[in-house]
Amino acid sequence: MENLTEKQIRNILDRYVSQKEYRRVYYGNKYNNDLQYKQYVRDYNKRRYEIKKYEKNIEKGLTEGQSKNIMAINCLNYLKKHERQDEFKNTFPVEYKLLNPETPTDNISD
């Protein structure tokens, strides 16, 4: 990398600060005003929280199946609390399959 002058370094730092400020303001406003984005962020964070909790339950000695069921029930209760239980299948598809196992239809004989 070539040596940068003081002016170039100052220009890079100023651009970084202005971009950082823009992102802070943009996402701050987006989170407070865009309800769909706010809901997306909360669902994303809930999933991350439940995955961490799942790993802690495994460390405590629960089986993998028990931990997954606890995670699925907590995700469903989260949506019920916010009156969105009809979105469970789309928001948390893995957990939905755990609580509502689908029966394979191609193995049914006539």
DSSP state of 107: T
The residue behind tokens 């460390």 is 59
- CA dist., res. 28 & res. 6, Å (int): 33
* The pLDDT value given to residue 95: 86
Per-domain residue ranges of the chain: 35-101
DSSP state of 82: T
Comparing CA positions, the residue from 76, 103, 71, 77 lying closest to residue 90 is 76
The backbone region for 101, taken as left when phi is positive above 0, alpha when psi lies in -120 to 50, beta otherwise, is: beta
Mapped onto helix, strand or coil, the DSSP state of residue 52 is helix
Interval 47-96: pLDDT, tens = 999 999 999 999 999 999 899 899 999 999 999 998 988 888 888 888 88
* The pLDDT value given to residue 106: 44
* The pLDDT value given to residue 20: 96
pLDDT at residue 11 greater than cutoff 50: yes
Between 106 and 23, the higher pLDDT residue: 23
The token pair at 41 is 């962020």
Interval 32-57: pLDDT, tens = 899 999 999 999 999 999 999 999 99
